[in-house]
Chain A
Amino acid sequence: MQITNLLLWTSLIPLCGAILLIFIPRFYSHLIRNIAFATAQLAFIYSILLWLCFESTTSLFQFIYTINWFPSYNIYYTIGVDGISLFFIILTTWLITVCTLISWNMPDSQIKEYLICFLLLEAILIQVFCVLDVLFFYIFFESVLIPMFLIIGVWGSRERKIRAAYQFFIYTLAGSLLMLLAILTIYFQHGTTDIQVLWNINFDVRTQILLWLAFFASLAVKIPMIPFHIWLPEAHAEAPTAGSVILAGVLLKMGGYGFLRFSLPLFPEASLYFAPLIYLLSIIAAIYASLTTIRQVDLKKIIAYSSVSHMGFVTLGLFSFNSQGIEGSIILMLSHGLVSSALFLCVGILYDRHKTRLLKYYGGLVQVMPIFSILLLFFTFSNIGFPGTSSFVGELLVLMGVFQFSPISTFLSAFSMILGAGYSIWLFNRVCFGSLKLQYITNFQDISRREFCILFPLSVFVLWMGIYPEIFLSEIHCSSYNLIAYFN
């Protein structure tokens, strides 16, 4: 195996695993679990290898692999990574591993299809983050819907899940159609969909504005930005734990990644033109979602709404057009991928034990689940951007970057620091402190070894990213500087 094929293998492994699982009878449920876990692990190891072999001193794409897919129409299937996409791939492979582990105790009758869905999702997500062709990006971007729709619709927790799944589907699809039109326009105008070529093409400003809007419609739904966000709390609240983890951890990042990869470098003038719009929506998201979060009573909805607020910060940073803002957004996305996933895992752990997600029934858990409480405290404080955790690095960089572009936006969005502390601490306090509600809590079991092994590496990584983020930033620098060059 050559190093150049590393990326191809990383993306193929989960697909092979999924195909393998299809041929294993449902009866061998333990084998199915083990194979899924091993596949996810292997993909994770490969993605780490990708990081180790990554050359950080260039902004060019690496590990490129090309297939001439549609020769007569000049459409190539090309994959490759640069500093921006590298960590998203690692995040995906890691979180899928986590998902296979967290669903270990699912009933044997359902586990097979469930794990196949996740492995398929992994294969598609890796493609989304490494494919270098707008048309293929669109295809994979949309295909994510299929396994996700099944995960929410089939393995969700309540009857409302169908409604949530449809809402998720309609929103995403409606937005994406416009993106398809934009991609076709680009293709018919310039005869190619390869982004490395397209990056060197100057669109005229009026076209840029229209195309930017079309891309925005699709990406803003995924992120989600404020008027398009209502699918998110619904989908999160209905999805199974692993679904929420992957939804918050990776799917939301696709929007941000899309902005980084397409909107900013392809349409720089339009991006500058629409920056005030993005700022307005982001600031509204940061404050409005925080205020909404304070009054939620469903644990999952609290975390989902706080995701909306954090994603507001991400979009702010993306459109600050300087290295601090853009790198901050990338770090914040990665950090949010870890922290909110961990919080969803924590909620999942509670749900497994007490079968409710309503805040009302919890209280004083620190007495029966001390280790869980420590981890929850850690992730809660990461969520509010406590210095020394990864979110802080992201938020600091984003706000520093935005300050140079528009001080007043920083001032307004920083209010969500206060509100964020409010809802996070309130949540933690209600769940862990106070007197133990013995009338509701009847299961006295701290987290198991499996759950600890899931959460502990996440916490280590969050801390590592907070204390020594250089190791990530140094890989991102070249690509982000290259991106900024489009605006100078």
Chain B
Amino acid sequence: MYLLIIALPLVGTLVTGLGGRWIGRKGSNLFSTTCVVLCVFFSSIAFFEVGLCGVPCYISLSPWISSGALNISWGFLFDSLTTTMLVVITSISSLVHLYSIQYMEHDPHCPRFMSFLEIFTFFMILLVTADNFVQMFLGWEGVGLASYLLINFWYTRLCANQAAIKALVVNRVGDFGLSLGIFTIFYLFGSVDYEIVFSSANIYTNYSISFCGFSINTLTLIGIFLLIGAVGKSAQLGLHTWLPDAMEGPTPVSALIHAATMVTAGVFLIVRCSPLIDLSSDVLLLITLLGSSTAFFASIVGVFQNDIKRVIAYSTCSQLGYMVFVCGLSYYNVGMFHLVNHAFFKALLFLSAGSVIHALSNEQDMRRMGSLANSLPITYAAMLIGSLSLAGFPFLTGFYSKDLIIEITQISYYSNLQISFGVYACWLANISVLFTSFYTFRLIFLTFIKNTNSYRKHIENIHESPPLILIPLILLAISSIFVGFLTKDIFVGIGTPFWGNAINILPTSCNLLEVEFMPSLIKWLPFVLSSMGAILAYTINVGVLKNNIQFAHNHLFRKLAFSLSKKLYWDKLYNSFIVSPLMYFGYNISFKNLDRGFIEFVGPYGISRTIKNWSTKVIKIQTGQLTHYTFFVIFGLCSLLLLVPVWDFLQFLVDVRLLVFCFIALFVA
């Protein structure tokens, strides 16, 4: 049964991808959806057995790569972390499959789409079930491939091509980090299996390695490399640029890959490696700084975006920041809890956005929407639930994890806990709450409440989406309300035995208790902030300030708004400072000047030209006159006789290096 969870998506992708021509659109829809739904069923059982009953399962299939001390095998590890991820992946994936049947109805390449979704699910499952780093790397790269193919699904569009290449190459930077992390792990532990690495990590805390001339603690180095991997996949600050662009893909793809599952792989990696990462305080500091900066940066950029999907994409980026920095504070289970909750409400938001886009004949700009609440009531309800959950409205799913994260940062203020960088995270997290609430309600108001700005042609065609689109929305809405409440005690309850050995929970993690004893004024803070954000969004977009936008003409504000809507020029930075110089080097320097210049000059052409030049010169000496020849013979003999006595003196002047110069001079001549 455990292997079926892995095998079914593979079967699904092979049948729909290679046999789509024969089984047709309906056949492939039915087959692939059935496969994933079966997967949900099996992974629920796995969740029950492994997670709730506490019986981890380990399956070893066969050796994979072996050489010397290195032994990598095909093995699968099902512990509570894996099964939690499995449930999330398969359930979101099956709902997205269901949704896409209707959403992609008019696309001629439906079987291909299904097959890509399925191959993504397969690689994602492989990623979470791996029992060693290399096999996880396979899943890690595989989801990158699936993401490339899915973003590029409408391959004739130049934007889609660019976004897909960008996603793949930027992700590859992360993969570069992860693979270096794997090499370092093998160097230190002599193995890449989770169990060996994690159980022996304690022994190696004092080892250091000389790297780039510095002596670095090896575990810190591993942590930094793994962090680079996580940053790439989870779109943290620095490598986040691919995520907003990836919205060029079809909306179900954004929901599945760029919100619920693939982008959380980085967080999963950090949580999975918690026994390693926890041993290095420097890495924890880095993770916290990066995560909280991302949360802040993405939320403030999200405020100034106008594309409905991009707003949600930045929101994803920001929420991933939350997950990452809470891991940096060593509360891995809380990060995992937010990951699960976020998957549900963010998939809901994306799918609702898809429903809106579907209804409006593929219009994505929020400024051209409005008043949709009456025409799309169910979509509106779903979107509202998702937004409230995202904003952390009390007792919805998002509240339980997000509020907990913020409260955890608050306790950093207690001097006895000694988490100084938690204060930084605390400030940014609280400010981000305000912006999160602002942009998500701005989205709601612009799309559903404000007077419409849409074309007449579009308005006439507005219709509530068909049932196959609504069913996933309703199911996700229900889970966006209840999942957090139902699973809080399992995931982050005090003293919960759920995680077992899957996550490293430090003894200090009883700080979770501290959270319960905070002053109630501070506990109210996130709610107050998000309400403020919502009210602000209301006043600016539909309320009193709607027609009174004097502040928008302020010079400083315009500058700020402009640079934020340009995403703070990250793309520009990369293009002009990294990509262009490399491209310039690749053509002008390495190709034109060296390969086609210097090397050819000293190499084949230089030699052939020199030989030609000298032979023409030598030919001129061959005059055929005996007198000339006699002259040369006598001249040579005389100089030889002259040189021999003074050679002892001359040999001090002759140097091998001089000969090399003479040789080069031959070419120039």
Contact = CB atoms under 8 A, between A and B. Distances in A.
Contacts of B156: 364, 433-436
B67 A230 contact: no
12 contacts: A292-B586, A381-B145, A388-B138, A393-B65, A403-B187, A407-B211, A408-B211, A414-B180, A418-B173, A433-B155, A434-B158, A468-B64
Given A323-B67, A436-B156, 14 more contacts: A227-B599, A230-B603, A328-B67, A366-B155, A386-B145, A387-B138, A387-B141, A396-B179, A397-B67, A407-B183, A418-B173, A425-B168, A433-B156, A470-B65
Given A291-B590, A397-B65, A400-B186, A386 B165 contact: no
B138 A292 contact: no
A192 interface: no
Interface in A275-331: 288, 291-296, 322-324, 327-328
A171 interface: yes
B296 interface: no
A292 B590 contact: yes
B607 interface: yes
Interface string B121-162: 000000000000010011001100100100010011010010
Contacts of B212: 408, 411
A386 B141 contact: yes
B172 A417 contact: yes
Nearest to A301: B591
Contact of B169 (A293, A393, A421, A473): A421
A8 to B, nearest CB: 31
B107 interface: no
A426 interface: yes
B595 interface: yes
B304 interface: no
A291 B168 contact: no
B70 interface: yes
Interface string A226-255: 011111010000000000000000000000
Contacts of B187: 400, 403-404, 407
B176 A414 contact: yes
Contacts of A477: 67
B161 A429 contact: yes
B586 A291 contact: yes
Interface in A433-468: 433-436, 467-468
B519 interface: no
B67 A473 contact: yes
B3 interface: no
B179 A295 contact: no
Nearest to B588: A295
A91 B142 CA distance: 28
Contacts of A167: 604
Of B67, B164, B175, chain A has the most CB atoms within 10 Å of the CB of B67
A213 interface: no
B132 to A, nearest CB: 12
A230 B169 contact: no
B186 A403 contact: yes
A171 B603 contact: yes
Contacts of B662: none
B134 A396 contact: yes
B67 A429 contact: no
B70 A397 contact: yes
Contact residues of A: prevailing secondary structure: helix
Nearest to A426: B165
Given A364-B156, A403-B183, A327 B586 contact: no
Nearest to B141: A387
A467 B62 CA distance: 10
A146 interface: no
Interface size class of B (residues with CB under 8 A): 35 or more
B68 A434 contact: no
B645 interface: no
Interface in B501-544: none
Nearest to A474: B66
A295 B586 contact: yes
B179 A433 contact: no
A481 B69 CA distance: 12
A425 B169 contact: yes
Contacts of A470: 62-66
A237 B485 CA distance: 65
B65 A292 contact: no
A392 to B, nearest CB: 8
B179 A417 contact: yes
Contacts of B164: 429
Nearest to B594: A288
A335 to B, nearest CB: 13
B489 interface: no
Contacts of A432: 155
A410 interface: yes
Contacts of B66: 470, 473
A413 B600 CA distance: 25
Contact of A295 (B67, B173, B583): B583
B209 interface: yes
Nearest to A417: B176
A288 B67 CA distance: 30
A290 B436 CA distance: 42
Contacts of A171: 603-604
B161 A434 contact: yes
A460 to B, nearest CB: 14
B389 interface: no
B478 to A, nearest CB: 38
Interface in A134-162: none
A415 B169 CA distance: 12
Nearest to A388: B138
A468 B61 CA distance: 11
A397 B71 CA distance: 11
Of A166, A227, A396, chain B has the most CB atoms within 10 Å of the CB of A396
A423 to B, nearest CB: 9
A429 to B, nearest CB: 6
A293 B591 CA distance: 9
A467 B607 CA distance: 48
Contacts of B62: 468, 470
Contact of A410 (B63, B145, B158, B180): B180
A282 B183 CA distance: 19
A421 B172 contact: yes
A425 B165 contact: yes
Contacts of B152: 429, 433
B585 interface: yes
A414 B64 contact: no
Contacts of B63: 470
B591 A295 contact: yes
Nearest to A415: B176
B70 A292 contact: no
A468 B141 CA distance: 18
A43 interface: no
Contacts of B176: 414-415, 417-418
A178 B624 CA distance: 36
The 3 closest A-B CB pairs, nearest first, are A323-B68, A387-B138, A291-B586
Contacts of B64: 467-470
B587 interface: yes
Contacts of B161: 429, 433-434
B65 A469 contact: yes
Given A407-B209, A408-B212, A473-B66, A294 B586 contact: yes
Nearest to A387: B138
Contact of B179 (A386, A407, A414, A467): A414
Contacts of B158: 434
Contacts of B145: 381, 386
B134 A418 contact: no
B90 interface: no
A3 interface: no
A324 B604 contact: no
Contacts of B209: 407
Contacts of A467: 64
A296 B176 CA distance: 24
